Structure formats: C-alpha cells, structure tokens
Chains A and B, each alone.
Chain A
Amino acid sequence: MQSIQTVTVGSGGAASIEFMAVGEIPDTYTDLKVVVSGRCSTTDTTATLAFNTGGTYTRRTLLGSGSAASSNTSAVDFRISQSGDTPSTFGNSEIYIPNYAGSTTKSYSVDSINENNATAAFQAITAGLWNQTAAITSIVLTPGSGNFAEHSTATLYGILAGSDGTTTVT
C-alpha cells in the first residue's frame, strides 16, 4: 500500500475534498483506499463520497449509536466528528475501493466512527455500490452539511498488485 496524495484542510474549512486525475495514477495499483480523519463544522456526523459524476449509489449500513444498533440504507458513506463532539477530536474512516479501474460496477466498503467522549458516538460498517462501469477518475468527499473543519485530513492510498499482476496484496 502506497500513499498517493494527502489533503489537510486549512483554516476556514472546506466544503469538500476532491482527488482528481485518479485515472492517471500508475496502473500498478489494483485497489484504492481512502483514509479520512474528519470533523464537521456543524452538528452533522454524516459524510458521503462520490465517484466521477452521475450514477446512483446504494448502501447498507450496520450502525451502532452508543446505545442501540440498527441497519439502514441511508445516503451516508462515512462518519466524521461533529462540532458538538469532544473538542479537537476527529472521526476516523477507511474506505476501500476494489478494482477501481475495472469495467464493472464499483463496490466499496467503509469502516467508520465519529470520536466523542460520551455515550453517543457512532460506529458504522457500510457496503456500497456505484452503478456505473466507468473507471474511477475522481473521488469527492463531502460532509452532510457545513464544512470539513480545519485539520481534517484525507489520504488516498494505492493497493499494489501482487507479483503475478493480478493478486491484491497489502
């Protein structure tokens, strides 16, 4: 696994973070992984990802709230800490995107939490599908509302193919 690019949000925040020209990174990678350390400027713990443009996303999430567990299909891909959470904490998420340059519909999986030193803190595992077959050329991360707060970071990693050129290794 190799780091491709890292974004750190500066003062004033950012409405979204976009990794563009993903299609131009070396084809030695079979899969991509995005690691997000995020906090929202509003009281919103939700965030979404988007590939390229258009298409439809479907999701299934197992969600723990700190006091209950549930399952849903909400339009949420990952969690970030919100403005009312413990100060200076950031939610953590790992988004795995296999076969990002392939010609089939694109699946992804997410392991995500928002940090909060209180009972209410979310833990989510999400399986998602983008119904387009185009190779992924851009990835946009967007909070449910407001901005990514200053010091939030997002890093795009490439997962290298194995020596046979097809096996995914880490």
Chain B
Amino acid sequence: MANETPTKIVINCSTGVREVLELTQDEIDEREVMAIQSEADRVADEQAAVAKAEAKASGVAKLAELGLTAEEISAITGA
C-alpha cells in the first residue's frame, strides 16, 4: 500500500543536498488550517467581487431610470 503521508522537498542552499521528508503531524495540522483559511479567503474574494458587480449593475440601472442615456452613464461610470 502506498505511503500517503505528505512530503516536502528541502534543499540545502549551502551544500546542495536535497531531501524529501515526510511532514510531521504538527506540519500536517498546520497545513489543514492553511487550506481551510485559503478556501475561506477564496470564497470571500468571490463574494466581494459578486457584490461589487451587483452594486455596479444596480447603480447603472438607477441612473437609467433617472433618464440618463447609455452614453451618459458610460461617461460617468466607465461601464
């Protein structure tokens, strides 16, 4: 059965010696925390981008309701 313990590559910049080492349990635990944080950051970034796009679309729609032409809205918002 294959060994599924994650490994890391460590290279000594002084000697050039390269080693492939299994992660310690602490390193595995830290890695899992980082993965959770990374996913949370990704979701937050996506949600922020969606919220920004929705706010922009809403603003453009309201300007149109006020009677501005598409050209005028584009001149103001760059949209």
Residues of A within 8 A of B (CB): 4-5, 7, 9-10, 12, 14-22, 24-25, 44, 46, 48, 63, 65, 68, 70, 72, 74-76, 142, 144-147, 156
Contacts and interface: CB of A to CB of B under 8 A. Distances in A.
A5 B11 contact: yes
Nearest to B21: A18
Given A16-B8, A18-B10, A144-B34, A46 B41 contact: yes
A7 B11 CA distance: 7
Contacts, number: 85
Given A21-B14, A24-B14, A142-B31, A65 B8 contact: no
Interface in B1-53: 6-16, 18, 20, 23, 27, 31, 34-35, 37-39, 41-42, 44-45, 48-49, 52-53
Interface string B34-75: 110111011011001100110000000000000000000000
